[in-house]
Structure 1
Amino acid sequence: MRTDEAGALRHHGDAEVRDGGPGLVDLAVNVRADTPPAWLRARLAASLTGLAAYPDGRAARAAVAARHGLPVERVLLTAGAAEAFVLLARALEVRRPVVVHPQFTEPEAALRDAGHEVGRVLLREADGFRLLPGAVPEDADLVVLGNPTNPTSVLHPSAALARLARPGRTLVVDEAFMDAVPGEAEALAGRTDLPGLVVLRSLTKTWGLAGLRVGYVLAAPDTIRALERAQPLWPVSTPALVAAEACVSPGALAEAERAARATAADRAVLVEGLREAGLTVVGPPRAPFVLARVPEAARVRRELRALGFAVRRGDTFPGLTGDAWLRLAVRDRGTTEAFLKALRAVRGGG
């Protein structure tokens, strides 16, 4: 793989904000605004009195297991979903790994760093970036895809994903944004009937914990043991464990559901505005971000930055070739309307 291609796989939305200078309105990073909430910050602050002790993940692991109706042997806590991708790449013996693109690029980067030759299944714009039957090679023994998918915001039917599972294959479904879907429609988390199923979850997006690094893996016990052997000791900090336990509580789940419904309403405002501006939006979008086809996307992104708005370039995602794509995080109506005004200005429409 070329150096520039490897670098593209490691490009993430935080670079758009970090490298753009201070004061930018962030539509590049898919973390819910105004988080973590006050009650969660208080729980985290209280955990600091226990930092002298080594982390004990038993309570958090049990809480995650209970949240999904699983035994604890099917749960592994990780330092975010990104660590889980590294563990999968290093711990599992696979011959033909395949990543379904466009999607989050870290799984492929982790596999390549571990020495694997990675195949790609490129979903097509003409199909709405939806997975079609037979797209994944039969001999693929590791298949990775996201649901809902970053950056397309496509939510694949769970039945279609379940058909990819079979003995001798590990099926990794990244559900990092599933708790931002009302009712968690099409989730596979908690399923134990599908051979080789591995589901990844992140608490980063809905709860604003990107700086804390916390997520988890749901899989068969033998897979969990293999991943655990590849982890360093005490991989998840005490505050992150406290956050994991707190964010799977009944009250937190109810709050996440309310936030998901509010995000859906805010997303509708963004989508309508983009379409009124003459842009194509991949859809129907179901995640807390949208993917838009924007002519001269690089120029538009630069000029939006000059007007104070950071957006995510799309050309670093395999399958989104050319100067044509931007990913936009969903924000509140006021922020969205200000952004749409800026977008019209840089495109000559206002």
Structure 2
Amino acid sequence: MLSHVTSPADRPDGLHHHGDAEVGDGLVDLAVNVRRQPMPDWLAGPIRAALTELAAYPRDREATAAVAARHGRDPAEVLLTAGAAQAFVLIAQALRDVRRPVVVHPQFTEPEAALRHAGHAVERVLLREADGFRLDPALVPADADLVFVGNPTNPTSVLHPAADVAALARPGRVLVVDEAFADTTHRPGTRGEPESLAERRDLPGLLVLRSLTKTWGLAGLRIGYALGPAELLARLATAQPLWAVSTPALAAASACAGPVAVAAERVIAAELAAERAHLVDGLAGVPDVTVAGSPASAFVAVRLSGAGQVRLELRRRGYAVRRGDTFPGLGADWLRIAVRDTATTDAFLATLTDVLKERQ
């Protein structure tokens, strides 16, 4: 059997643990998947200008229209959110009539945490390392009426084929695809974001969640959005607080939806692909370290014996990496490592190699 469905009842998984908890003063941050580069003027300018408008309540019409235009959608098919993570809460709170919600793991833990907090009984489909953590649509129960899947998936960095994800859509089901890292993906010789469903309007019940915080270093600003059928987004909006997205965040959304931003994302994604390949190649040369699947995003997951102690020793030597045992479907022998520039990667790999040699 490729995978199995489980119930998480009475199982403490640390679902609310995130990479920022690993970061500390003086540590090289390989735990948080947010790009840390100077903000370009076309983005910094509108955000600064928005600070002069804080006396007025936020008005989201312009930003909604900009996001809709980027994805070839009607503005009614866009719901701006305070970060993509807010959308998980809206879904859990607004869709109270869901009978069998399923979360495909390993993936970002906040969707399940939001569902459980809202009182939903969540089931898990656990993908296996032996299969490269690849999605098999047949593993999802046919009567699941709410399904969450990440693409590319955090923490495994696996990019599922769009056809496999789309195969999960069906009448009577809400299919939530977390594409928070879609803009980090790159495929040579192609344009756009490989395997994204953001522009698909033909799939019943499809909700695509997006984040603007990763590539543009806006985690503290909280801006993301949901794309989907207008009637479904209207239901989610009933659970959203008034003026949920701030004026500076709306300015960022408008700027990041423009052609200059989209072109820049593609350049950054190509550069990231080279940096990721450098990290993966380097890890292949470290004894007893296995990289999960075929990484396609801004991070990689690795398996190594005694990962918990290795993480602490790396911390003592100046590097923060993300523990993997809080992700359902992984375990105590897993770490997640953010992709950084090649110099940072080389220094980290040398330190990791030393730590592992000293443990022998």
Shorter chain as denominator, the TM-score bin is over 0.9
Contact 2:82-2:222 at 8 Å conserved across structures: yes
Query: 1:14-73, CA deviations, whole angstroms, 9 ceiling, x for partnerless residues?
Result: 0000xxx31111000000121533442232111100000000000000000000000001
Correspondence for 2:18: 12
Q: CA deviation at 1:112?
A: 0.3
SS in 1 for 2:63: helix
Deviates more, 1:63-72 or 1:128-137: 128-137
Query: 1:133-153, CA deviations, whole angstroms, 9 ceiling, x for partnerless residues?
Result: 410000100000000000000
Counting aligned pairs with the same residue, the percent is 64
Amino acid at match of 2:12: E
Superposed, 1:181-330 pairs within 5 Å as: 181-182=185-186, 183-278=192-287, 279-321=289-331, 323-330=332-339
| Equivalent position to 1:176, from 157, 177, 180 | 180
Contact 1:33-1:331 at 8 Å conserved across structures: no
Distance in 2 (CA, whole Å) between partners of 1:2 and 1:282 is 27
TM-aligned CA distance change 1:203 to 1:62, over 3 Å? same
Q: CA deviation at 1:4?
A: 6.9
Contact 2:129-2:293 at 8 Å conserved across structures: no
- Give TM-score, length-normalised by structure 1: 0.96
Distance in 1 (CA, whole Å) between partners of 2:212 and 2:117 is 25
Q: CA deviation at 1:255?
A: 0.7
Amino acid at match of 2:27: L
TM-aligned CA distance change 1:101 to 1:35, over 3 Å? farther
Contact 1:78-1:216 at 8 Å conserved across structures: yes
- Give TM-score, length-normalised by structure 2: 0.94
SS in 2 for 1:310: strand
| Equivalent position to 1:154, from 140, 144, 158 | 158
Amino acid at match of 2:18: H
Amino acid at match of 1:15: A
SS in 2 for 1:134: helix
Distance in 2 (CA, whole Å) between partners of 1:297 and 1:76 is 40
Q: CA deviation at 1:261?
A: 0.3
Correspondence for 1:59: 62
Contact 2:106-2:328 at 8 Å conserved across structures: yes
Q: Which has the higher helix share?
A: 1
Q: CA deviation at 1:113?
A: 0.4
Distance in 2 (CA, whole Å) between partners of 1:13 and 1:3 is 24
Correspondence for 2:49: 46
Superposed, 1:96-175 pairs within 5 Å as: 96-175=100-179
| Equivalent position to 1:33, from 36, 46, 50 | 36
SS in 1 for 2:215: helix
Contact 2:284-2:290 at 8 Å conserved across structures: yes
Contact 1:282-1:291 at 8 Å conserved across structures: yes
Aligned length: 345
Q: Which runs of 5+ in 2 are unaligned?
A: 1-7, 187-191
